[in-house]
Structure 1
Amino acid sequence: MNNRFCRLSRAMIATGVAAGAVVLFAGPASAHVKVSGVDVTQGGYGLLTFRVPSESATASTTEIDITFPSDTPLISVDTKPKPGWTATIKNKPLATPLTDDDGAKVTQYISEVDFKATAPNAAIPAGYFDTFDLEAGVLPNKPQISFPTLQTYSDGSTVNWNEYSSDGGKTEPDHPAPTLALVSDNSAASSSSSSTPAWPGWTGFGLGIAAVILAVGALLRSGRKHTAS
Structure 2
Amino acid sequence: MRSTPPRRIAGIALATTAGVVALAGPAFAHVTVQPGNAQQGAYTAVDFRVPNESDTASTVKLEVNLPMDHPLASVRTLPLPGWTATLEKSKLDKPIKVHGSDVNEAVSKITWTADAGTKIAAGQFQEFRVSLGPLPTDTESLTFKALQSYDNGEVVRWIDEAKEGQPEPAKPAPVLALAKAAAAAGASPGADHADAEATTSQAIAKSSDSTARLLGVVGIVVGVIGAGVGLLGLRRKGDSAAS
Q: Give 1:31-180 correspondences, 5 Å limit.
A: 31-37=29-35, 40-101=38-99, 103-119=100-116, 121-141=117-137, 142-165=139-162, 167-180=163-176
Q: CA deviation at 1:70?
A: 1.1
User: What is the RMSD of the two structures over their aligned residues, measured on CA atoms?
Assistant: 3.2
Letter in 1 for 2:159: N
Q: Output the CA distance in 1 between the equivalents of 2:29 and 2:132.
A: 24
Quick one: structure 1 residues 169 and 37, their matched pair in 2 at CA, closer, same or farther if it must change by over 3 Å? farther
Q: Output the CA distance in 1 between the equivalents of 2:17 and 2:212.
A: 10
User: TM (normalized to structure 1)?
Assistant: 0.72
Letter in 2 for 1:162: I
Q: Is the 8 A contact 2:37 2:176 kept in 1?
A: no
Letter in 1 for 2:175: T
User: TM (normalized to structure 2)?
Assistant: 0.68
Q: Is the 8 A contact 2:43 2:135 kept in 1?
A: yes
* 1:201 corresponds to 2:201: no
Letter in 1 for 2:65: T
Residues 40-83 of structure 1 deviation map (CA, whole Å, 9 limit, x = unaligned): 21011111111101111211100000000111111111111100
Q: Is the 8 A contact 1:22 1:205 kept in 2?
A: no
Residues 102-149 of structure 1 deviation map (CA, whole Å, 9 limit, x = unaligned): x33211011001111011x31100221111101001212221111000
Letter in 2 for 1:90: E
Quick one: structure 1 residues 73 and 164, their matched pair in 2 at CA, closer, same or farther if it must change by over 3 Å? same
SS in 2 for 1:40: strand
Q: Is the 8 A contact 1:79 1:133 kept in 2?
A: yes
Residue ranges of structure 1 left out of the alignment (5+ in a row): 1-16, 192-196, 212-229
Letter in 2 for 1:64: L
SS in 1 for 2:35: strand
Give aligned-pair identity as a percent.
37
Q: Output the CA distance in 2 between the equivalents of 1:122 and 1:169.
A: 41
Q: Output the CA distance in 1 between the equivalents of 2:141 and 2:212.
A: 25
Residue ranges of structure 2 left out of the alignment (5+ in a row): 1-14, 187-198, 201-205, 222-243
Q: Output the CA distance in 1 between the equivalents of 2:55 and 2:217.
A: 30
Q: Is the 8 A contact 2:160 2:172 kept in 1?
A: yes
Letter in 1 for 2:32: K
SS in 1 for 2:213: helix
Aligned residues: 193
Q: Output the CA distance in 1 between the equivalents of 2:27 and 2:34.
A: 16
Letter in 1 for 2:45: L
Letter in 2 for 1:157: E
Q: Which residue number corresponds to residue 226 of structure 2?
A: none
